[in-house]
Chains A and B, each alone.
Chain A
């Protein structure tokens, strides 16, 4: 319909229109890139860990004094924990998955140091580890109780006869498949056999690209600090966290109980920066849209006030209320669209800068129409109110001052 008159009117106030379009363009560039970054982070945070994250918690115990016997203490603690109603399973462990603290190593398929090894997180659990973490053995078998022994600090543990690896690690080591039953070599060239493959499990460092590379050796680490991992029935975790802490400290004057922490909290801490970044970006987007919306609103209101007489005249000449509303909405749409076209160029430019200057992945172009749609809706919403007010201007206004 009335594209021409709108364009003519805009031409007469072109500086203002260009400024708003420019604002739309930069807003679009920020919004699209920010939504994209949020998307990437949310995906990272939401990855399936392979573990029963919601029902697991961990405790760290450190004994001291001359009468403290690590092995006895671990046996006693675990017996006590396992006897508590609501506990599904518990194990001693060298490290806690998702916690950001762990141990890493390199494995090879041939005993040759000149060949690059495959990096992986390394854990040492008892035969209860699999059930405690709630991970799934898809091929092969778990450790047997007689394969698991106490391993003391500062001693080179005997190379384990059999190890468990995650599917991801198995695929990296043996791309052609058939990892089960194969030999792998540690840094000291000793060898182990893969006796089981875990479908999926996350290791310690959530920022590492090999997060799903995990190898598990059998063993009960009897180090200075003993870390217990405990899995509970659904809904029992928080109660048991309190009870376990209480019971552990009650019967042991020579132990310090530390970091009773759910696996969820370990993960939340590890992903804290990603979550904070997402929340900051959401705030930036919201504020940006508020500003842009308010500016649309303010300018449209002012225009309506300025053009009261013209609007009255148009109404007197037969324009319907709908025509008036449509005029202002269309005007806004033209400015927004003009800005969006420039905005897409800016968006791609900003994305390129973020990608080359920082380690951000390449922008997924699906986010561009999303951003444009958001600004269209915002513009139309902001223009609607003043436009409605414009439509109520009576045709009689036109006659008044003449």
Chain B
């Protein structure tokens, strides 16, 4: 029966190619535009580490001044980064299952054969790798022991390993950076958490750094932050040590806590730490410390940009316009079929089968339109990639199976929604009315 309906449908579409073609174009454009914006939104708002996003927490301490709220318009908001002093103290305290402090910096790399170049790197502690489940191609991250001794070890990204060592297993090889000899401890496999949740402050969609080195090298190598730093206090800074001891906040700090009890305990620990610091004359503001899970942190820092939300809203309206177009076109199209339907009714087809047949026809339009729409969306996403080049959108413009299925269902639903009323209207016709004029 279904195949028979399908055959009639194709026949009917061929008989009125203009209206059928327009309907397909309308559905295709609606799906194309809305899928383009929805894809970007969906990937922007995705959970970057679903296995444990509820166990990872960004830490905020309100270290600002009594007359200097971090955000003057919303004084309840704490700064989103920590000072070097506090971050290293919290790492040393080891009160959580894992804890990691970090920042972005740059170093001059001097490869043996090639010209020296400036490399972006993340300066962090050994917990980074197990905590964020970083996949390794060769070797592993460095150990807590390396953290303590400030070993000159480095973890390379896959691309950097290809650039420097031709992609081979480079564990144990030497690399000259910042006028020091480093030893490669591991090479990461492709790893691109999207969004780059652990440092959304310095670009939520940026690439993972070229390499990583131990945080304890900050002082001996005088590494400066290449990311944003925030300060409120005028301090006399005459040396690198002064800078490290200053109230400038330029470090991200994360902890892993397994359950709500651990969260409460850690929160209490933070409050106790700040209370202790208050006695040293720091932390002038009332206690305002926060632990935010990965998804809370994404929302807090508005990782999904407002523009992208507005675009999703507008493109859903766009799809609605397309559906309305399709309804209007279908009504007109079916209007021209009254005679044929009357004939079929007279020959014994009941209302339900007429209705069903037309829904099949409408679905066929939806499927063709949807398929075309997915192609449009692919084009749209390429355009988005081009428009936002350099903004880390490359990982935000990929259609996955789920999105393609979503598009198919959306197209089908849109066409059914469009076809329901016209089909129903059509099968209300009485057989006699139209046969008369024959």
Where the two chains meet, the residues of A that have a C-beta atom closer than 8 Å to any C-beta of B are: 13, 15-16, 19-20, 22-23, 26-27, 29-30, 33-34, 37, 62, 64-66, 113-114, 116, 154-156, 186-189, 224, 256, 258, 269, 272-273, 275-277, 279-281, 283-284, 287-288, 290-292, 294-295, 298-299, 301-303, 306, 350, 353-354, 358-360
Q: List 12 A-B contacts (CB under 8 A).
A: A19-B324, A20-B324, A23-B328, A26-B320, A64-B108, A65-B179, A154-B237, A272-B388, A275-B387, A283-B383, A298-B329, A302-B332
Q: With a CB–CB cut-off of 8 A, which chain B residues contact A290?
A: 29
CB < 8 Å neighbour of A358 from B19, B240, B309: B309
CB < 8 Å neighbour of A26 from B67, B108, B311, B321: B321
Q: With a CB–CB cut-off of 8 A, which chain A residues contact B238?
A: 154-156
Would you list the 3 A-B pairs with minimal beta carbon distance, nearest first? A188-B234, A187-B234, A276-B387
Say yes or no: B237 contacts A280, CB within 8 Å. Answer: no
- Given A30-B321, A113-B67, A288-B318, A302 and B118 touching (CB < 8 A)? no
Q: With a CB–CB cut-off of 8 A, which chain B residues contact A284?
A: 33, 314-315, 318
- Given A155-B237, A187-B233, A299 and B315 touching (CB < 8 A)? no
Nearest residue, chain B, Cβ from A249: B115
Nearest residue, chain B, Cβ from A27: B321
Given A154-B238, A154-B239, A295-B329, output 12 extra A-B contacts at Cβ < 8 Å.
A15-B421, A16-B331, A37-B310, A187-B234, A188-B234, A276-B387, A288-B318, A291-B325, A292-B325, A294-B25, A353-B313, A358-B310
Main secondary structure of the interface of A (DSSP, over half): helix
Say yes or no: A22 contacts B234, CB within 8 Å. Answer: no
Say yes or no: A62 contacts B18, CB within 8 Å. Answer: no
Say yes or no: B328 contacts A280, CB within 8 Å. Answer: no
Say yes or no: B314 contacts A30, CB within 8 Å. Answer: yes
Q: In the bound complex, how far is the Cα of B391 from the Cα of A290, in angstroms?
A: 31
Q: With a CB–CB cut-off of 8 A, which chain B residues contact A292?
A: 321, 325
Q: With a CB–CB cut-off of 8 A, which chain B residues contact A306?
A: 335-336
- Given A30-B318, A295-B22, A302-B336, A16 and B310 touching (CB < 8 A)? no
Q: In the bound complex, how far is the Cα of B417 from the Cα of A19, in angstroms?
A: 13
Number of B residues whose C-beta is below 8 Å from A? 58
Does B236 sit at the interface, judged by CB under 8 A? yes
CB distance from A246 to the nearest CB of B (A): 14
Nearest residue, chain A, Cβ from B243: A154
- Given A156-B238, A277-B307, A295 and B328 touching (CB < 8 A)? yes
Q: With a CB–CB cut-off of 8 A, which chain A residues contact B22?
A: 294-295, 298
Does B405 sit at the interface, judged by CB under 8 A? no
Say yes or no: B327 contacts A19, CB within 8 Å. Answer: yes
CB < 8 Å neighbour of A30 from B235, B236, B309, B317: B317
Say yes or no: B179 contacts A295, CB within 8 Å. Answer: no
Q: With a CB–CB cut-off of 8 A, which chain A residues contact B174?
A: none
Q: In the bound complex, how far is the Cα of B19 from the Cα of A258, in angstroms?
A: 58
Say yes or no: B26 contacts A291, CB within 8 Å. Answer: yes
CB distance from B19 to the nearest CB of A (A): 6
CB < 8 Å neighbour of A291 from B29, B388, B421: B29
